[in-house]
């Protein structure tokens, strides 16, 4: 059955879904053949999330450049998903492509620093404001290593996450507040026999009283959070939340890890720089090196010093941090090119201008249709939120999530040549995005909303 949310007709949703599916399959013979030819991939895809898109068979992309995709059947798409942020600066930005080509003939993986290493450290420090950095290969890994370093530095066992947050496939973060109000492993988590709530505390975002209570026994090494929750629709911090979060974590001796993997959409120094946050540790991945697998984690002088001290007395052997391909010459070349030449102030100014128009245009579409929804925004990241008011925490975000309606909307947009992110209603503006593309997004959304409403 289809759950539709307020203002939307179930019969219309079902009809639109059927029509979009027929159109998708009927005009994509090569896409269908590609699905049949992928018999030796589990579920026919190289990574199982790819079956979670709205399409009846996976969309197979032959070419991605700028903010455009072309599928194997030759259909073009205006791409507002941008690899779920990995390609926030457009697909294959030219300076990154040139740096990768150069580095390909000078060594890809040596497990030694290249001459770019020192410069990359300087760029990260200037941009994000923390003095010491390490390179990882995914944001997942960067978060795992930063959490481990936080425990080592503080000598404390626990971490704290906010309900509804996502920080990558980081085992210990998959804890939520269950229906009975108690912390528990997330129900969808597979292959996890441990009760993760033993070492992970969880409180609602924007709830400083709950945070205070959860940190008071001084066993929490680290609070990990996005500055804006972007993985359960979009939950913005309420006025005073970040000031309170910083004050309470400091007072109880818990480190504050800000994960800016998605909120790099805010500006060149992320949300932290734009809003004056003072994290002890900082993580960014996905787009930070222009779309190749690379992530960064940084720390204050104080954390670095405590971490070094903790390392002095340990025996030789595995630290549980680092991977063979991390800090590679390839990553360093891409990081340098992306930070120096792509993720620049003018690029962000352009992204924000486009996102202004997306926000206004989409809000107008919702208002014209009298839908009780709104548009939330974090720099170049724009989200249609299926609730009349700003969300305050993960529980509210769950209540504003209508999977069947969202999938129908996504597929109906896709057959109109517009791609938005698969798991909720997120759209990104890249420096390569054109004004014409933004107008097409708004127009396609108006068409789809028109079909859904009575
Ligand atoms: N942190 C945040 C805030 C994220 O949204 C994600 C992925 N959606 C990650 C970390 C993990 O990134 P990756 O899957 O590239 O490891």
CATH of the domain at 278: 3.40.640.10
Domain around 436: 10-79+345-452
Q: Kindly state whether residue 5 falls inside one of the protein's structural domains.
A: no
What pairing do the DSSP bridges indicate for beta strands 255-259 and 220-225? parallel
Cβ proximity of 168 and 139 under 8 Å: yes
Residue 87 lies in a domain: no
Give the residue from 342, 375, 395 where a domain finishes.
342
Q: Is residue 299 part of a domain?
A: yes
Protein residue with least CA distance to atom 9, ligand 1: 168
Q: Best of 138, 145, 168, 260 to mutate for ligand 1, by most ligand atoms within 8 A of CB? A: 168
Angstrom distances, CA of residue 310 to CA of 44, 49, 150, 223, 369 = 46, 38, 11, 20, 59
- Regarding whether 419 and 278 lie in a shared domain, the answer is no
- Is any atom of ligand 1 closer than 6 Å to the C-beta of 290? no
Is the distance from the beta carbon of residue 185 to the nearest atom of ligand 1 less than 6 Å?
no
Q: CA-CA distances (angstroms) from residue 235 to 162, 165, 200, 389, 395?
A: 11, 10, 21, 11, 10
Give yes or no: residues 253 and 161 share one domain: yes
Tell me which of 231, 232, 261 to substitute to probe ligand 1's pocket, judged by most ligand atoms within 8 Å of the beta carbon. Answer: 261
Edge-first strand listing for the sheet containing 61-65: 61-65, 68-71, 76-79, 418-419
330 with 357, same domain: the answer is no
Render pLDDT for 53-99 as a digit per residue (tens, 0 to 9): 999 999 999 999 999 999 999 999 999 999 999 999 999 999 999 99
Nearest atom, ligand 1, residue 168 CA: 11
Supply the DSSP symbol for 315: P
113 and 213 together in one domain: yes
Q: What is the pLDDT of residue 5?
A: 73
- What is the best residue among 144, 147, 281, 286 to mutate for testing ligand 1's pocket, by most ligand atoms within 8 Å of CB? 286
Q: Which of 226, 159, 158, 199 is nearest to 393 (CA)?
A: 226
Comparing CA positions, the residue from 391, 390, 397, 383 lying closest to residue 427 is: 383
Would you state the pLDDT for residue 3?
Answer: 56
Nearest CA to ligand 1 atom 1: 167
Query: Are 245 and 374 members of one domain?
Result: no
- Does any domain span residue 333? yes
Indicate if ligand 1 lies below 6 Å from the C-beta of 261.
yes
Q: Residue 113, class by beta-carbon neighbours within 10 Å (0-12 exposed, 13-18 middle, 19+ buried)?
A: middle
pLDDT (0 to 100) of residue 132: 98
Indicate the top mutation candidate among 82, 137, 140 to test ligand 1's pocket, ranked by most ligand atoms within 8 A of CB.
140
335 and 357 co-located in one domain: no
Which of 301, 316, 342 represents a domain boundary (last residue)? 342
The pLDDT assigned to 9 comes to 84
In a domain, 1, yes or no: no
Q: Whose CA is nearest to atom 7 of ligand 1?
A: 168
**Alpha carbons 272 and 278: distance in angstroms, whole number:** 7
Task: Tell me how many domains the chain contains.
Answer: 2
Output the CA 139–ligand 1 centroid distance in Å.
Answer: 5
- Specify if 90 maps to a domain: no
Query: CATH code at 391?
Result: 3.90.1150.10
Sign for the pseudo-dihedral over CA of 235, 285, 117, 324: positive
Domain boundary among 342, 364, 397: 342
**375 plus 294 within the same structural domain:** no
Same domain, 71 and 123: no
294 and 166 in one domain? yes
Taking the centre of ligand 1 as the mean of its atom positions, its distance from the CA of residue 151, in whole angstroms, is 21
pLDDT digits (tens, 9 = 90+) for 282-339: 999 999 999 999 999 999 999 999 999 998 888 888 999 999 999 999 999 999 999 9
**Same domain for 336 and 350:** no
Q: State both tokens at 444.
A: 């396609």
Establish if 293 belongs to a structural domain: yes
Q: Is residue 2 part of a domain?
A: no
**Would you give per-residue pLDDT tens digits along the chain (454 residues)?**
345 677 788 899 999 999 999 999 999 999 999 999 999 999 999 999 999 999 999 999 999 999 999 999 999 999 999 999 999 999 999 999 999 999 999 999 999 999 999 999 999 999 999 999 999 999 999 999 999 999 999 999 999 999 999 999 999 999 999 999 999 999 999 999 999 999 999 999 999 999 999 999 999 999 999 999 999 999 999 999 999 999 999 999 999 999 999 999 999 999 999 999 999 999 999 999 999 999 999 999 999 999 999 988 888 889 999 999 999 999 999 999 999 999 999 999 999 999 999 999 999 999 999 999 999 999 999 999 999 999 999 999 999 999 999 999 999 999 999 999 998 999 999 999 999 999 999 999 999 999 998 7
User: Do 192 and 105 share a structural domain?
Assistant: yes
* Same domain for 319 and 396: no
């Amino acid at each position: 059955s289809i759950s539709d949310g307020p203002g939307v007709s179930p019969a219309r949703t079902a009809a639109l879904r059927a029509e979009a599916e027929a159109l998708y399959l009927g005009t994509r013979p090569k896409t269908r053949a590609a699905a049949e030819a992928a018999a030796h991939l589990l579920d026919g895809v190289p990574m199982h999330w790819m079956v979670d898109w709205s399409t009846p068979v996976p969309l197979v992309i032959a070419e991605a450049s700028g903010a455009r995709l072309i599928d194997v059947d030759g259909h073009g798409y205006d791409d507002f998903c941008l690899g779920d942020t990995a390609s926030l600066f457009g697909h294959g930005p030219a300076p990154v492509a040139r740096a990768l080509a150069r580095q390909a003939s000078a060594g890809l993986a040596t497990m030694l620093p290249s001459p770019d290493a020192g410069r990359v450290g300087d760029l990260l420090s200037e941009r994000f404001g923390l003095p010491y950095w390490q390179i990882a290969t995914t944001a997942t890994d960067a978060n795992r290593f930063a959490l481990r370093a936080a425990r080592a530095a503080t000598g404390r066992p626990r971490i704290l996450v906010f309900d509804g947050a996502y920080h990558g496939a980081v085992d210990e973060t998959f804890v939520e507040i269950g229906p009975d109000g108690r912390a528990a492993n997330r129900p969808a988590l597979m292959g996890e026999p441990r009760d993760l709530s033993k070492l992970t505390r969880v409180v609602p975002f924007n709830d400083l009283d709950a945070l205070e209570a959860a940190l008071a026994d001084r066993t929490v090494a680290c609070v990990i959070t996005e500055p804006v929750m972007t993985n359960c629709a979009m939950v913005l911090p309420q006025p005073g939340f970040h000031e309170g979060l910083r004050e309470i974590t400091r007072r109880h001796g818990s480190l504050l890890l800000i994960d800016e993997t998605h909120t790099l959409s805010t500006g060149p120094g992320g949300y932290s720089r734009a809003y004056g946050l003072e994290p002890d540790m900082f993580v960014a991945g996905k787009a930070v090196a222009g779309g190749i697998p690379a992530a960064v984690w940084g720390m204050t002088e104080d954390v670095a010093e405590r971490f070094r001290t903790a390392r002095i007395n340990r025996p030789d052997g595995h630290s549980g941090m680092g991977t063979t391909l991390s800090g590679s010459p390839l990553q360093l070349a891409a990081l340098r090119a992306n930070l120096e030449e792509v993720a620049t102030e003018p690029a962000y100014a352009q992204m924000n201008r486009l996102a202004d128009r997306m926000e206004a245009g989409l809000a107008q579409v919702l208002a014209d249709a009298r839908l009780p929804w709104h548009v939330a925004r974090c720099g170049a990241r724009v989200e249609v939120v299926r609730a009349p008011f700003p969300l305050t925490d993960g529980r509210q975000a769950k209540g504003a999530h209508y999977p069947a309606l969202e999938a129908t909307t996504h597929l109906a947009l896709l057959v109109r040549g517009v791609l938005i992110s698969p798991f909720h209603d997120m759209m990104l503006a890249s420096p390569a995005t054109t004004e014409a593309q933004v107008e097409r997004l708004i127009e396609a959304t108006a068409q789809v909303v028109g079909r859904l409403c009575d």
